[in-house]
Amino acid sequence: MKELRGHFISSTKGYKEGAVSVFRQLIHGENIKKATLHITALGIYEAQINGKKVGDQIFAPGFTYYHRDLQYQTYDVTDLLAQGENQLRVYLGQGWYCGRFTFDNKVQIYGEQAAVSWILQIELEDGSVSIYTSNEEQVVEVESPYEYAGFYDGEIYYGSRNLKRIEKAIGAPIKYEGKIPEVIEETILTVKIQEEMPVKKVTKQGDVIILDFGQNFAGVVEIDPSKIQGDTIKLRHGEILNTDGRLYTENLRKAKAEIIYHKEAETEKYRPKFTYMGFRYIEVSGTEYVDGMITAYALYSDMKRTGEFSCTNEMVQQLYENQIWGQKSNYIEVPTDCPQRDERMGYTGDGHVFALTGSYNFDTEKFWKKFLKDIRYSQMDNTEGYIGSTIPANGPGGIGFLNMLGWGNAVTILPEMLYWQYGEEKYLIDQYESMKLFVEAEIRKMGDANLWLGASLGDWLMLGKDVKWMAMHNNPVSNSFIVHDLKVLSDTAKRLGKIEDEERYSIQLEKTRNAYIKAFILENGKMTDDYQGAYIMALKFVLQEGDLRKKVLSQLIEHIGINGMQTGFFGTEHILPLLAEAGESRLAYDLLLQEGCPGWMYQIKCGATTTWERWDALMPDGKVNEEKMSSDNMVSFNHYAFGSVGEFYYQYILGIKPLLPGYKKVLICPKVDERLGSVSGSYESRVGLIKVSWEFDSPSFENKEAESKERTVRFTVETPVEAEIILPDGFVHEVIAGTYYYECTLQID
């Protein structure tokens, strides 16, 4: 919709952080056959016709790399228009474009002032067409009900500035003279209001009320002003409570996470338009609380649920639910790190770590299609063709002091994942030049050493390891990602018939693999940097089958046996799958189920309803661990990276994997453990629903008394296509589409 380029308008007022502009246009309608609104903004908009919201998208037009790319929306608004006079009202907030954003709390990142553009086309019954645009004379700016609106601090709203009145105009908009992105294309992805989150518990805490929603999530509140007994209500959001029952907010850093609503005669319910919070608890002040005053709603990118899992072990089940809510809370336009503090940025590393798990939980193809586009546009303005830790990038740049290997490598990991999960080769094709540009930057940095030895974060957030330690010991983890990049790129070049590229990157792959082994692995399989993340990433991305791999695996198992689990963001994704693949399923389950810190069940015992950023975010005495990892508080209770354990649930507990891209042929190979009780789950693939369930028979009296217990396990498998079913007793069944029942007898230690 290139025509939108010519209609951008902005407020005559100078820039003020948090400002919201409101524009009004009167529309005449008689004998309307069809009406269509095309609209976009440099910022965030919400359009209303006659007081009713247009569409259901939140934070439209969406977060993109505004220097080059902008999305627009098209709405059928026929049913919103009445005969005679109508009122189109557009609220314009600053959002990611020029509002306060990033952990540096920058403003005007992409431009100096928010702007909006729309075209309303009305087709009449007689065939004539009326067109209304945003830069016409009858468009006026009216008084805004917002004193402030921004992602981090929230909103300050005055109900006295009634939204349905036709207020006196306060000025005329001006033509926007700033830069408009070259590309304006229709939206791929939308954020929407999802579940209603009812209040679970109300507690009086001194002069304030604490509302507990029973679930940490990302969302917004809705206020019913008719139930407010004072002039003003103030809501503060937080993830947890202090040990004395007060709201804990120190981990929000510079984000206020507040809603301040000034009541007047307005009776229409208020819901924020330009912010969202990550919270489980709300502190209410300024009024007594009554039921129905406040309702909360989760919001996240619109995705179809495709994965299900249930088991009778309550803690294992809770962990599954926690990672689901971690995804919901952090799939908001981009793969954010967390939804509560002054960050909420599109992290490439966090994103790819959880991507496979997330693709089982939900249909994430459109989500990643949009993000890969953001990567390509951001990369165009990187002086070295590199991809950094956050996307969309803030603007032109290069490679910083921390090279952030392990983050930008999402450029190869994501297209490969999409190929296997959805059978779509197009993402490898579309991203090929982007992958190539990124890998060429890596090759330049490696030079003759064939390794990139620099500062990065490595297996980030290992327990007890700070930034300085990771920067000094990151290289075995960081360089494993380069090996994987070269493998994906050379394989893709071969598939696409790019012979010279295949040769170049295959040769470089072997050089880098050999250099990696020489630099980081001793002959006995011990890593020169002796920590679990180094072993895991070498096994995952570098080492091929052979004696050395067996030695490294043996060293890893020994390390785990002595020290327990000691992994960070990257190692955690792969530790349980690697153990299961190596025939160490019992050890994998031991790690899953162990209740000490670090461990997932530790979080469950502490009452977590989402996965945490740090293994030890909460201490055993209930106090928050505020030991700084860098220069600021870094304790998020809704960080989905460690939720990558969901991959183990689907691919190993249920045993569902693709044997061919897009599940055109399926592998069912469940790894069972009696401590889970009965298990069932499913994945709705592109070829249909795959279902697996298993349960152990109750042990007989004789077996209860025996030292070595024999137990029978019963399986039910439903597959929509040809499948290979491998049972724990080693028997392999090649089957066609259908439902199958099996049982086998196992020795349980």
- Catalytic machinery residues: 343, 613
Interatomic CA distance for residues 251 and 636, integer angstroms: 7
DSSP H or E run through 721? none
The CA-atom distances, in angstroms, between 649 and each of 451, 580, 639 are: 35, 12, 18
Place of tokens 């507690």: 203
Place of tokens 């967390």: 338
DSSP H or E run through 126? none
DSSP H or E run through 261? strand 258-262
State the amino acid at position 184 in one-letter form. I
DSSP H or E run through 463? none
Contact by Cβ (8 Å): 94, 105:
no
Q: Which of 35, 141, 131, 120 is nearest to 83 (CA)?
A: 35
For residue 317, how far is the Cα from the chain centroid? Answer: 21
Contacts (Cβ under 8 Å, ≥6 apart) of 208 = 247, 283, 284, 285
3-state secondary structure of 665: coil
Q: Which two tokens stand for residue 582?
A: 């190596």
Q: Which two tokens stand for residue 421?
A: 């999960």
Q: Which of 696, 692, 701, 680 is nearest to 745 (CA)?
A: 696
Radius of gyration of the CA atoms of the chain, in A: 27
Contact by Cβ (8 Å): 467, 525:
no
DSSP H or E run through 552? helix 547-563
Q: E-strand spans in 572-708?
A: 656-658, 666-668, 679-685, 688-696
Q: Which two tokens stand for residue 266?
A: 């307005």
DSSP H or E run through 623? none
